[in-house]
Amino acid sequence: MTHLHPEHSQPCGVPVALGSPVAHGAPVARGAPVARGVPVARGVPVARGAPVALGSPVARGAPVARGVPVARGAPIALGSPVARGAPVALGVPVALGSPRAASAASSVQCEARAVQGAGMTGWLVVAGLGPGDDALITPEVLATLAEATDIVGYIPYVARISPRAGLTLHASDNRVEMDRARHALTMASEGRRVVVVSSGDPGVFAMASAVFEALEGAPDWHRLDIRVLPGITAMLAAAARAGAPLGHDFCAINLSDNLKPWPLVERRLRLAAEADFAMAFYNPRSASRPHQFTRTLEILRDACGPDRLITFARAVTTPDERITTVTLADATPDMADMRTVVIVGNSATRRVGRFVYTPRRAL
């Protein structure tokens, strides 16, 4: 598990990504296949559409240490904070004090100095880390994390990032999203390269909206280089595990009444059910408001009937994953917690073999 040192730079000698550095600027034939195990020059974009060996996580235009098993749940060891296209090695820890670690750490510092010398300005990226499995982090997000000087986010999400020289991890508690957003914007305006991390997709009940909310009140920051990088949101990862329950029209509802009144949640639930949408529920049930999910199930039974299929997808793509599909008649509140995304089918959603799917057509 990563040791976090919020607000402080991480020590040198921590896991450092070791890619396959070869000559800078070496040409790579457009359209040439990227062979496993073949080192490719840093910073050389591999032609879009070029064949890429399947099963190899590839950062934008750059090789990733291939054939290296990525431990589930291990922090993401990222490359040096350099240009896009730098190799990103996943799960390749380097022993402290080993000559390899020492040379890697010093090369990181050299590259960091080179970047600063080039007069780079600050930026802010809001990035999604996907539902849990590192294999589901996009290459675009990996490459951006490798360039960052600062990572900002909720404690468990920041814990997924492996510390390295030149990177400061700023982990904060839940429910301080606006403070976090302003802190990130402030650092970017001071020239830092800041990534705000969310789980799943940053635009789905997560930090992207908080950052824009903070921007609304601060015109001075409007010219900052700000980007949002998508991730795989929990409902899509869960749907893929179950089969295709979201194969027709659907909606997503956050069941938390933290930022909206509960009567509005009930109204949206009922109207979505009456419109025969399939539905995905985020934040379904927390210890502080268990009765609300009981009420959710009552509304659903009333609007959809007892035979409607409901899938509880817990900790999708992590070692704790559990996917359970039952009818509304058999659903109980304790089947959901805050690590669960709940998917309710529409009136045509059905089982096929061990899968659940919603037909593409509606009558």
Q: Interface residues with ligand SAH (CB under 6 A)? A: 131-132, 198-201, 204-206, 233-234, 238, 282-284, 313-318, 338-341
Nearer to ligand SAH, 11 or 156 (CB): 156
Which amino acid, residue 265? Answer: V
The count of other CB atoms within 10 Å of the CB of residue 246 is 25
- What is the rounded distance in angstroms from the CA atom of residue 157 to the CA atom of residue 290? 24
What are the counts of helices (DSSP H) followed by strands (DSSP E) for the chain? Answer: 8, 13
C-beta of 199: minimal distance to ligand SAH in Å? 5
C-beta of 351: minimal distance to ligand SAH in Å? 21
C-beta of 266: minimal distance to ligand SAH in Å? 18
The count of other CB atoms within 10 Å of the CB of residue 175 is 11
Nearer to ligand SAH, 298 or 320 (CB): 320
C-beta of 118: minimal distance to ligand SAH in Å? 34
Question: Which residue's Cβ lies closest to ligand SAH?
Answer: 200
3-state helix, strand, coil in the chain (%, to 5): 30, 20, 50
C-beta of 145: minimal distance to ligand SAH in Å? 17
Structure tokens at 19: 């890619």
∠ CA(103), CA(104), CA(108), 5° rounding?
115
- What is the rounded distance in angstroms from the CA atom of residue 271 to the CA atom of residue 121? 47
Nearer to ligand SAH, 54 or 287 (CB): 287
The count of other CB atoms within 10 Å of the CB of residue 240 is 16
C-beta of 136: minimal distance to ligand SAH in Å? 10
Cβ pair 16, 165 in contact under 8 A: yes
Phi, psi of 3 (to 5 degrees): -95, 120
C-beta of 63: minimal distance to ligand SAH in Å? 28
Nearer to ligand SAH, 1 or 54 (CB): 1
C-beta of 327: minimal distance to ligand SAH in Å? 21
Nearer to ligand SAH, 63 or 153 (CB): 153
For helices 262-274 and 290-304, give the axis angle rounded to 10 degrees: 20
Nearer to ligand SAH, 211 or 316 (CB): 316
Structure tokens at 306: 């007892």
Structure tokens at 145: 């994390």
Nearer to ligand SAH, 41 or 341 (CB): 341
Q: Which of 206, 203, 210, 204 is nearest to 228 (CA)?
A: 203
E strand spans, 78-133: 123-128
C-beta of 233: minimal distance to ligand SAH in Å? 3
Residues 6+ apart with CB under 8 A from 149: 81, 166, 167, 168, 192, 193, 194
Residues 6+ apart with CB under 8 A from 287: none
DSSP code, position 200? B
Which amino acid, residue 178? Answer: M
Nearer to ligand SAH, 87 or 200 (CB): 200
- What is the rounded distance in angstroms from the CA atom of residue 167 to the CA atom of residue 153? 14
Nearer to ligand SAH, 50 or 244 (CB): 244
C-beta of 205: minimal distance to ligand SAH in Å? 4
Nearer to ligand SAH, 185 or 204 (CB): 204
